Every structure is written in C-alpha cells, then in structure tokens.
Chain A
Amino acid sequence: MADVKVASHTRVRGVHRFRLAFQIAFLLLFFALLTLTVWPLGSVALGAFLGADPLIALNSAASGQWLWPGFIAIGMLIVPLFAGRAFCGYACPTGTIIERTTPSRGPGQLPQAWRARLRTLPVFVLIACAGLLLFGSSLYLFFDPLATLTRVATILLYPLLDRVLRLAGDVAYLAAPLRPGVDAVTAALTGRLIFTRPLVYGLQLGVLGMFTGMLAISWIEPRLWCRDLCPLGALLGLVGRFAIVGRLVDGETCISCGKCHSVCPMDAIPDDFRSTDRSRCQSCYVCADVCPVNAIGVGTRPHAWTYSPTRRGIVIAAGVAALAGFFSFTGLGRREKAPQLVRPPGARTEADVLALCSRCGQCMKVCPTNVIQPAVSAGFEGVFTPQMDYRVGYCEWSCNECGKVCPTGTIRPLSLEVKHRTVIGRAYIDRDRCIPWADYKTCLVCQELCPVPEKAIVINTADVVTPVGTTLRLGRPEVVAERCIGCGVCSNACPVAYRPAIEVFGVREKA
C-alpha cells in the first residue's frame, strides 16, 4: 500500500500546471462555438456544450426531453467517481474566468465559523433545485454556470463587440484610403459580429449585476461561488461523495504542517489534513506540490470527510423548497399568459417552457433580428425565458435557427416548411392609431412586408368620409386572421411612432 502511494507521488506533482492549458482550451472552445452560433448555422451542434451539462440534461429528462448530448452528461456524472470535480478545475469556462480574474490565494480569508457554514450550502442548493424541479420550474438553471456564461456573453459581450467594432469602423472610415478595407471587414463580419441593427437586450443590468456578484464574492474567498453556491458543482459534488479514486495522504509521512489546507482553492481539505472533502476536490493537486514531505498522492478508497446535514436540517430545507416549488407552480403565470408574451416558433406550451428552459440565451444569440429577448412579462418564474419583442425585431421568414440551438428542447427544431405554418401569435390593427384608419392617409407598410405568401394583411379600398366631411378613396389594411402566423414583421415596421398600430398578441395554446 505504501509503495503504491510513494509511486504515485511523483506522478501527481505538477498536475495543476496542465490545468491552465485545459482551462484555456475549453474557454476558447466555448467562445468559439458561441461566436459561431449565428445564422446560418449549418450542421454543427453548437448547443452541445449546454446539452452536455448534467444539470440541464437531468432537468430536461425529468420533463421527458432527451437530446443526444445527454449521453455526454451521463459521462460527466461518472467522472467525479474518479477525479472529483475535475470539471470545475479543468473544463468549466465560468470557473476559469472566476479563478483567473480573482486573486489566487488559499482559503482562510473568512473566519472559521463562516467557512463551516458555507460548507453546508451545496446540500441546500441541491435541495432547493429539487424542490423547484419537483414542481416543474427550471428557474434554478438560471444559476447553472454554463447557462450563466452563455447568457452573460449573449447579453453583454456580443452587443459590446458589435458596438465597438462598429465604432472602430466609423473612426477608420474618416480616413478615405481605409474605406475599402473597412467595407471588406464589415461585409465579412456582418451578421456574425456586427449586426444590421445594433444588438440590444433587456435585463442587461441584471445580468451584469449577477456576474459581477459572482466575481465579487470570489474576491472575498477564492472561488466562493464555485465551491458553495454553484448548483452544477453541488451536483458533481454529490456524485463525488462516492468517489472510488482520489487524494490520499500517507498518514505516516504527513507532518501535519497544514500547508495543503492553506493552499487548497476549493477548501476541500479539512483540519485533520489527512482526509479530503470529495464533494469539493477538483483534482488540481496543488496540495501535492506544496507538501514538504511528499505525503500526498492518488489512490483508491480515499479518506472522505464530507459535511452531511442533520435529518432535521434536510426536513426543514425540503419543506421550504417544496413550498417554494408549489407556490411557483400555482402562480398567475401558470394560469394565464401575459397577452403579449409570444414565444419563438417551436416553443412548447407555457408550462413546458417554465419547466425546461435553461435561461441560457442561445436562442437570443442566434436570432438574426434580435427579436428574441429575455422575458420580463412571464413573471419572476419565467424570467429570462425567450420572448418575442417586436419593438426590436421580427421573426425572419427564412430562419429557423432558434430551435436548432436550444439545448433543452424548449424550442423544438422546426423545418422551414413547418415553421412557415406555425402560428405563434396574431396581429391586431389598432384602428384608432393606424394611419389610413385614423389619419386618412395612405400607408401599407404592414401589407407589403407580410412574408406569408398569401398575404395575411389585405388592403381594402373604399370611399371613406373624413371627420371634416370630404370623401376620399383610400386603401386600408385589415388582418386575415386565419393566415396570420404572428411573425411580427408588420408590427416591427409600422411607422406609427412609439407604439405600433399593429401589434401581435399570443394565441390560445392547443391543449
């Protein structure tokens, strides 16, 4: 036994130096895939990163949705049995950003009592998730690290890049010789990093606040978010409790100097220095590097030390979580949709959206017209689910990408033919504000842009009497209800100021 351990010491030393390479590779892969998530998608499975997230895959499976990246997710759930939360230390792009932008120091910035309390958190995070899951709310996925980073990049990074590149182009344009070059770059990046209309998103300050918060608490104590609050980390840690292989300390060699304890970025080494909190260890083995006597290695059946909540604690937490789930289940949003809450084409029923959506914002990223926005009218429970906002854009006739990138199946992938017949809403003309109806002037922008082959808006010409008694021959738009699919081109293009005179409202869901 002792021989094995000694042999493994040499192997383990310096492992954490490879970690940075892994982290950079995964971070680049993540952002490369996300940057490629634009129209036209081609056949690359860009949603795979999120689909392979065990937390998201389990949530989808609980609602009966199983996509192929779910098999990767199963693999990821097996890894902690052998390598602890290696995902957190080597692969997670959010973890990389948190780790590399905050001061690298060991735990111990907070008093011992606080740390003891923080250690108990992951269990309760999982119980809270389970309570929401039980009652069909995927709100907890808002805190999933991969969904969070996708959301942050979509809402903050890409709009920023869009504007910066645009401004750089504007500045370079002042020098006439540079113009052909600027035009070439603009043409190459348009629809990819620069968009016809600058990207805008709602809730961007909320997203900024959440991300800054995640980074800020990790300044107090290294990787505080990852260790104690991340629901994916908690799930991987739950499997890690049953680890077969892990950090093993040779009790005879160990001099109890405590150096390993003071450098462990995950706070996974308890005060006896010999056991390991397998629900936190990310297998970076920085502990092995600082050990003055080479007592730390890898071996089977590691000494586990893991916080286990009392039965009383579990019962109370589960009760609270179940109640929270229950009350979200019986909320107003489940009974009636907000009238203008229109979901992207292919979206499942409202109950399914609330149960499945990972709030990652991939659909918002890929949408070429920027019409898919984080929902605010879906209530607190539906925050950040996809919603069509026709003030910003419209559903492009030649595009069906949102369904292809959805990692949860909330938005089903539809073929263009099916999408063209999928009714997501219905346009209504406000005759008190429409230019031909209210101002007695010609206008037909809604009709001319209606993409449905047999136009859903018709212009009927008639003799009309104006308020002052003159008779005019005037064409006025009317919506043919059975042809309208609710794409909102009309609403988006309506020239009436501030609030369009034609607006799309949701249609009743088929049971």
Chain B
Amino acid sequence: MDRREFCRFIGVCSLTACVGGLTGCARALQWSEAQHTTVVTRTFGGTPSSSASAATTPSAGGTSAPAAPAFPDLAVTTGSDAAANTRLAVEMLGGMGRFVRRGARVVVKPNIVVAREPRYGVTTNPDAVAVVVTMCLEAGAASVTVFDRPTASTLQAYTVSGIKAAVQGAGGTMKVLSDRDFETIAIPQGRLITSWPLLTDIFDADVMINMPCAKTHGLAVLTLSMKSLMGVMGGTRSLMHQDQPQKLVDLNTLIRPQLVILDAFRLLYRNGPTGGGMQDVKPGNTCVAGTSQVSVDAYGATLLGMKPTDVPCVALAAEQGLGVADLSKLAVAKRSA
C-alpha cells in the first residue's frame, strides 16, 4: 500500500464514520417535546407579592402608610382609553414598582390566540400591552419580554393582533417561542396533570404578568386569566379539553403570575374564543387588575353577565383553595380613568 492509497483509504473510512455519526445526529433535527420526556422540577419565580411584603419595600406609590395593607384585592377602572384604564388599575394596586423591582426580568403574556385585528376583541388590546411594557420599564425592569403560543402561525398572530408593533414601540421584546423553550415540568399539586411541557421563560423570569382579554369560550364558558395560561403550555394542548376545569386548576397551582391584568376594553360575548364578527363584540371599557387569577376571573365573569361560579374552573379553583372567588369577601376598588 503506497502513501496515496493509504490516504484514500483513511479518507473513505473517515467519511463513512462521519456519515454514520450524522445519521445519529440527524435525529436531533426532530427537536420536539419528545426530547424533554424527563420531568424537571422548577419553582415559579415567587409567590404573588402580598400587600404586607410590598409595604416593607418602598413602592412607586411613594408616601403610602407603611403598616396597613393599603392595596385593594382588585382594582377596577373604567374609561374610554384602554391604556389609561390599565395604567390607573396598576397604580391603584400600588404601582408597577410593587411588582417589578429595579433590574427585574419581566415576562408579559397577553392572549394572542389567533391572527385577528384588535377590534374583534379576540386578542388582548395592544394599547394595554404597550402601556404595561412602558410601566415595567419605568419601574426599572431590565427586560420586558412579551409572548404567547398562538394556534395560528406566530408571525401572523403577532402582527395582525397589533401587539408586535405596540410592544416594539414601547421598548419591549416580542419573543417567538420554539420547541427549545419548553421543558416537561412537574406540577406537584396537580390532580389530573402532574407534568406538562411548559415554557421555561416564565420560570427564569422574576415577574410574570398575565394579560388576558375577556371573552367567551364554548367549553371553559369564559376565557379569562386561568384559561389563558394555556398559552405557556407546549405539547398537544388539545388534550386539555377532557376534564378541563381540573386540568386548568392543576396548571394554576404551579404558575401563579404576580400580576394579573384583565383587559375588558372590548367584550367578546358570543362565538368566543376566536370570534371574528363585529356583532359579537360589545364595548367593555374596563380593566381589572389583581394579584390572584381566581379573584380577577371571578370579577371578570360579572362583566360578561355571569356569576363567578358559572365559570367551572373558577368555581373549582375557589373550592380547592387556590384563591377567593366570592366577590363579597374581596376588597374591590373602582375608579374611572
């Protein structure tokens, strides 16, 4: 065997080895939740900021009395400007500084389920999302990332809903979710679902703000903050639809956004959650903010002419001690912007 022949032999061998190795690597191209079958335990960024702990740290409100739980459970604002409503509601809860500390990484999850223009009331009002981004940045947030996992193509849903332009205009970042952003995470208190591929960003962040919009849903009756959390679920979400109330409660036991802002500027009172006709939308001109998903949803139900107990997942969550749905036991502050 001469030198040339030897080189050729080595070349062919290494080529074969490379191809063989790539054949194995190629399976990595099928990147999906199948890779994340190992269940990871993650703790959610912290418990919802209680009024007591907030009082010890100076809030953006500034000169409020240090001892008393000064903040209401729910702040309800009305007015013809979605952004002003939202800003006032957050201020009534103690200002964004109560939730977002300087340097905090904030994630905001509006409802961007499909590609629909804002006027149809199917997605969260872009002005409301923009003002929340602005307030977070004003409070000193290091980054504000906005995302959802739409059922439509992401680019279209983000663009048509107007949220992409609004968020970028306000200085926030729209994140497009990929399979790599999900991990199968244990839901320790789950009764029906004990683990699910969930978005890791909400666990990495310091603060999560859930920004649902108020609309009906054929199965969940209403899509409010608890149902809208499905937007951080990966995997086959359509499997959530059997025994849905308990599964939603399970999800809500793990993920407890520090701030919940329900955009009820428009109310999609029929044909939700994807609507599409102006005859199904009526003006709501309201914004509801709170720290408990259950309480916000309980109040949200009344905006659409229902009792909190009419919404199965809210009733079940209250029953299992996840939050208070009885509006008579909640301190609700109302103002008009």
The residues of B that contact A184 with a CB separation of less than 8 Å are 173
CA distance A24 to B29 in the complex (A): 32
Contacts A398-B115, A448-B219; A40 near B159 (Cβ below 8 A): yes
Whether, in the assembled complex, B153 has its beta carbon less than 8 Å from a beta carbon of chain A, the answer is: yes
CA distance A453 to B277 in the complex (A): 5
**Candidates A173, A195, A453; contact of B153 at CB < 8 Å:** A195
Which of B31, B159, B217, B274 has the most CB atoms of chain A within a 10 A radius of its CB?
B274
CA distance A399 to B243 in the complex (A): 34
Please tell me which stretch of B79-87, B132-140, B234-242 contacts chain A, meaning at least 4 of its Cβ atoms lie within 8 angstroms of it. B234-242
CA distance A494 to B155 in the complex (A): 22
Which of A169, A195, A397 has the most CB atoms of chain B within a 10 A radius of its CB?
A397
Within the complex, what minimum Cβ distance (angstroms) separates B256 from chain A? Answer: 25
Contacts A443-B242, A452-B276, A454-B277; A39 near B156 (Cβ below 8 A): yes
Which of B31, B153, B219, B279 has the most CB atoms of chain A within a 10 A radius of its CB?
B153
CA distance A454 to B159 in the complex (A): 24
Contacts A40-B159, A167-B28, A186-B176; A444 near B239 (Cβ below 8 A): no
Question: Which residue of chain A lies nearest to B178 when distances are taken between CB atoms in the complex?
Answer: A186
Within the complex, what minimum Cβ distance (angstroms) separates B255 from chain A? Answer: 21
Mark interface residues in B254-290 (1 if CB within 8 Å of A CB, else 0): 0000000000000000011111110110000000000
Whether, in the assembled complex, A449 has its beta carbon less than 8 Å from a beta carbon of chain B, the answer is: yes
Question: Which residue of chain B lies nearest to A195 when distances are taken between CB atoms in the complex?
Answer: B153
Whether, in the assembled complex, B187 has its beta carbon less than 8 Å from a beta carbon of chain A, the answer is: no
Contacts A190-B155, A399-B156; A166 near B271 (Cβ below 8 A): no
Contacts A191-B155, A452-B276; A442 near B29 (Cβ below 8 A): no
Q: Are A495 and B236 in contact (CB under 8 A)?
A: yes
The residues of A that contact B106 with a CB separation of less than 8 Å are none
Question: Which residue of chain A lies nearest to B271 when distances are taken between CB atoms in the complex?
Answer: A455
Mark interface residues in A396-437 (1 if CB within 8 Å of B CB, else 0): 111100000000000000000000000000000000000100
CA distance A40 to B274 in the complex (A): 21
CA distance A166 to B179 in the complex (A): 10
CA distance A263 to B154 in the complex (A): 53
Within the complex, what minimum Cβ distance (angstroms) separates A411 from chain B? Answer: 19
Question: Which residue of chain A lies nearest to B273 when distances are taken between CB atoms in the complex?
Answer: A448
Which of A187, A448, A475, A494 has the most CB atoms of chain B within a 10 A radius of its CB?
A448
Mark interface residues in A185-196 (1 if CB within 8 Å of B CB, else 0): 011001110011
Q: Are B274 and A449 in contact (CB under 8 A)?
A: yes
CA distance A369 to B115 in the complex (A): 12
Q: Are B180 and A396 in contact (CB under 8 A)?
A: no
CA distance A449 to B219 in the complex (A): 12
The residues of B that contact A369 with a CB separation of less than 8 Å are 152-153
- Chain A interface secondary structure, helix, strand, loop or mixed? loop
The residues of B that contact A196 with a CB separation of less than 8 Å are 153-155
Whether, in the assembled complex, B130 has its beta carbon less than 8 Å from a beta carbon of chain A, the answer is: no
Contacts A448-B219, A452-B276, A455-B271; A435 near B242 (Cβ below 8 A): yes
Q: Are A170 and B174 in contact (CB under 8 A)?
A: no
Which of A166, A187, A369 has the most CB atoms of chain B within a 10 A radius of its CB?
A187
CA distance A368 to B152 in the complex (A): 9
Q: Are A398 and B243 in contact (CB under 8 A)?
A: no
> Which residues between 290 and 326 of chain B lie within 8 Å of chain A, taking CB atoms?
none
Which of B114, B176, B218, B241 has the most CB atoms of chain A within a 10 A radius of its CB?
B218
CA distance A331 to B279 in the complex (A): 48
Whether, in the assembled complex, B116 has its beta carbon less than 8 Å from a beta carbon of chain A, the answer is: yes
Within the complex, what minimum Cβ distance (angstroms) separates B269 from chain A? Answer: 13
Whether, in the assembled complex, A163 has its beta carbon less than 8 Å from a beta carbon of chain B, the answer is: yes
Which of B116, B180, B239 has the most CB atoms of chain A within a 10 A radius of its CB?
B180
> Which residues between 184 and 208 of chain B lie within 8 Å of chain A, taking CB atoms?
none
Mark interface residues in A436-475 (1 if CB within 8 Å of B CB, else 0): 0000011111011111111100010000000000000001
- Number of chain B residues close to chain A: CB under 8 A: 39
The residues of B that contact A475 with a CB separation of less than 8 Å are 218-219
Q: Are A39 and B217 in contact (CB under 8 A)?
A: no
Question: Which residue of chain B lies nearest to A370 when distances are taken between CB atoms in the complex?
Answer: B153
Q: Are A166 and B219 in contact (CB under 8 A)?
A: no
> Which residues between 163 and 188 of chain A lie within 8 Å of chain B, taking CB atoms?
163, 166-167, 169-170, 173, 183-184, 186-187
Contacts A167-B28, A183-B175, A397-B114; A454 near B153 (Cβ below 8 A): no
Whether, in the assembled complex, A36 has its beta carbon less than 8 Å from a beta carbon of chain B, the answer is: no
Within the complex, what minimum Cβ distance (angstroms) separates B276 from chain A? Answer: 4
Whether, in the assembled complex, A493 has its beta carbon less than 8 Å from a beta carbon of chain B, the answer is: yes
CA distance A494 to B238 in the complex (A): 7
CA distance A116 to B116 in the complex (A): 62
CA distance A496 to B236 in the complex (A): 11
The residues of A that contact B155 with a CB separation of less than 8 Å are 39, 190-192, 196, 368
> Which residues between 227 and 253 of chain B lie within 8 Å of chain A, taking CB atoms?
236, 238-239, 241-244
The residues of B that contact A170 with a CB separation of less than 8 Å are 28, 31, 178, 180
Question: Which residue of chain A lies nearest to B117 when distances are taken between CB atoms in the complex?
Answer: A398
Whether, in the assembled complex, B38 has its beta carbon less than 8 Å from a beta carbon of chain A, the answer is: no
The residues of B that contact A163 with a CB separation of less than 8 Å are 29
CA distance A184 to B160 in the complex (A): 20
The residues of A that contact B236 with a CB separation of less than 8 Å are 495
CA distance A170 to B32 in the complex (A): 11
Whether, in the assembled complex, B151 has its beta carbon less than 8 Å from a beta carbon of chain A, the answer is: yes
CA distance A396 to B114 in the complex (A): 9
The residues of A that contact B241 with a CB separation of less than 8 Å are 435, 442-445, 495
Mark interface residues in A482-496 (1 if CB within 8 Å of B CB, else 0): 000000000001110
CA distance A469 to B267 in the complex (A): 41
Mark interface residues in A92-130 (1 if CB within 8 Å of B CB, else 0): 000000000000000000000000000000000000000
Q: Are B114 and A451 in contact (CB under 8 A)?
A: yes
CA distance A495 to B242 in the complex (A): 11
Q: Are A396 and B276 in contact (CB under 8 A)?
A: no
Within the complex, what minimum Cβ distance (angstroms) separates B41 from chain A? Answer: 20
CA distance A170 to B272 in the complex (A): 36
Question: Which residue of chain B lies nearest to A496 when distances are taken between CB atoms in the complex?
Answer: B238
Within the complex, what minimum Cβ distance (angstroms) separates B203 from chain A? Answer: 14
The residues of A that contact B154 with a CB separation of less than 8 Å are 190-191, 196
CA distance A442 to B221 in the complex (A): 13
Give 6 nearest A-B pairs by CB, closest first: A191-B155, A453-B277, A495-B238, A453-B276, A398-B115, A190-B176
Apart from the given pairs A396-B153, A449-B114, 10 other A-B contacts in the complex at a CB distance below 8 Å: A40-B159, A166-B29, A368-B153, A442-B243, A443-B238, A443-B242, A444-B241, A449-B274, A453-B271, A453-B280
Interface CB pairs A-B, < 8 A, 21:
A39-B155, A40-B159, A166-B178, A169-B180, A170-B28, A186-B176, A187-B174, A191-B153, A191-B156, A369-B152, A369-B153, A442-B241, A442-B243, A445-B238, A449-B274, A450-B274, A451-B274, A451-B276, A454-B271, A459-B218, A494-B238
Q: Which residues of B are interface residues toward A (Cβ below 8 A)?
A: 28-29, 31, 114-116, 151-156, 159-160, 173-176, 178, 180, 217-219, 236, 238-239, 241-244, 271-277, 279-280
